[in-house]
């Protein structure tokens, strides 16, 4: 009992000064200085909103759930420790951030992690919005787009095709009809594969490689949809949540249906803000077109040369689709399939 009391006194001694400091700070500056911040979950001293994310490694899902619990506002406000952050969870908010106020959100947040792991943050993706970034745009390194992100998207595309045998049959029929016995798939062949492109677009809608895109930082204070975003706020756009929102995609938003793009002008090139797997605005992914070509050619070759079968005992509807957070959001468990040669490789 005495030990428990000692622990309680220690906790009070640590937390009370922090609470008092918070109260004094608010009284001196007013309640957020009269700023109208977006709604957010309740916060604790020191750690802010981090307790809402602890144990939830899939942050895109966690922030989407938080937004849903808060009544689905276009923006939610979080404190990641002492770092203010805003997450956009609607098409309109994404448009405001990446087009209307694109220049205000054109820079990247700086951190020691970026400095250590990303060549001092001087690569194109994390470079601050300045003259160096403008020069780097002309000398973009596309190896990242050609490896991790493309491989991840290919794996998700094959997963969805195996879960949806009718879509697989239709995609393979188109590929084999267009290529018609030729020994290899070429870029000229891919240009004629309209349904294959629909499959890739639907894969990117449900499984964007970077579901929260790459974070931005407010270079200046601005107002977004009636809410204030102070200077220095880290801004995320939840492309995963927006891409699955029934308001934009209908009641079957969670289903894999490439046909939804058949008579639609919606594209991923940054003009349709309900569908931005590569981002939009000044900081749109520089490797977008390279990744698109990479994925199309590789997927066409896989469907042309091979038939694919699930491992014994696995039914299409039972295929594991669990996610794992890494550099990209990839499958938690690797996809194992049996290839059956249809057109021998030459």
Pair type for strands 337-341 and 75-80: unpaired
- The two three-digit tokens of residue 266, written as one number: 């919606």
- The two three-digit tokens of residue 81, written as one number: 């420790």
* Residue 89 designated active-site: no
CA separation for the pair 298, 157 (Å, rounded): 11
H or E stretch including 234? strand 234-237
- The two three-digit tokens of residue 67, written as one number: 């937004």
* Residue 149 designated active-site: yes
Cα separations (Å) of 289 from 268, 269, 315? 10, 9, 35
CA separation for the pair 240, 247 (Å, rounded): 14
H or E stretch including 340? strand 337-341
Taking alpha carbons only, the member of 35, 13, 2, 41 closest to residue 230 is: 35
Residue 285 labeled ligand binder: yes
Residue environment code for 10-31, b if the CB has 16+ CB neighbours within 10 A, otherwise e? eeeeeeeeeeeeeeeeeeeeee
Q: Tokens 């975003």 label which residue?
A: 229
CA separation for the pair 161, 203 (Å, rounded): 10
Taking alpha carbons only, the member of 129, 67, 72, 97 closest to residue 222 is: 97
HEC per residue, 12-57: HHHHHHHHHHHHHHHHHHCHHHHCCCCCCCCCECCCECHHHCCCCC
* Residue 11 designated active-site: no
- Choosing from 203, 268, 285, 328, which is the catalytic residue? 285
Rg of the Cα trace of the chain? 23
Residue 75 near residue 63, CB atoms below 8 Å? no
- Choosing from 63, 236, 278, 328, which is the catalytic residue? 278
- Choosing from 107, 149, 203, 233, which is the catalytic residue? 149
Annotated binding site for heme: 285
The residues carrying an active-site annotation are: 149, 278, 285
Annotated binding site: 285
């Amino acid at each position: 009992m005495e030990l428990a009391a000692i622990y309680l006194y220690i906790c009070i001694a640590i937390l009370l000064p922090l609470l008092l400091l918070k109260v004094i700070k608010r009284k001196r500056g007013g309640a957020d200085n009269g700023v109208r911040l977006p709604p957010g979950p309740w916060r604790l001293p020191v750690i802010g909103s981090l307790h809402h994310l602890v144990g939830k490694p899939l942050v895109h899902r966690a922030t989407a759930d938080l937004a849903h619990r808060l009544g689905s506002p276009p923006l939610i406000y979080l404190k990641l420790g002492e770092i203010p952050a805003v997450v956009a969870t609607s098409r309109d908010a994404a448009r405001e951030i990446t087009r209307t106020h694109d220049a205000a959100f054109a820079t990247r947040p700086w951190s020691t992690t970026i400095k250590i792991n990303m060549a001092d943050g001087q690569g194109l993706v994390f470079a601050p919005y300045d003259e160096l970034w403008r020069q780097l745009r002309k000398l973009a390194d596309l190896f990242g787009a050609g490896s991790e992100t493309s491989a991840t998207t290919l794996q998700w595309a094959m997963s969805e095709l195996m879960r949806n045998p009718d879509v697989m049959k239709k995609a393979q029929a188109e590929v084999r009809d267009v290529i018609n016995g030729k020994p290899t798939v070429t870029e000229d062949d891919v240009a004629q594969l309209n349904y294959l492109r629909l499959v890739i677009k639907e894969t990117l809608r449900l499984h964007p490689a970077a579901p929260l895109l790459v974070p931005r930082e407010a270079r200046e204070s601005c107002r977004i949809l009636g809410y204030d975003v102070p200077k220095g706020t880290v801004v995320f756009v939840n492309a995963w949540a927006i891409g699955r929102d029934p308001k934009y995609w209908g009641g079957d938003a969670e289903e894999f249906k490439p046909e939804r793009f058949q008579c639609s002008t919606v594209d991923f090139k940054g003009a349709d803000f309900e569908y931005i797997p590569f981002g939009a605005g000044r900081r749109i992914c520089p490797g977008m077109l390279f990744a698109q070509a990479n994925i199309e050619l590789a997927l066409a070759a896989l469907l042309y040369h091979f038939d694919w079968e699930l491992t014994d005992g696995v039914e299409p509807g039972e295929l594991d689709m669990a996610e794992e957070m890494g550099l990209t959001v990839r499958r938690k468990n690797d996809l194992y399939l049996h290839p059956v040669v249809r057109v021998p490789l030459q």
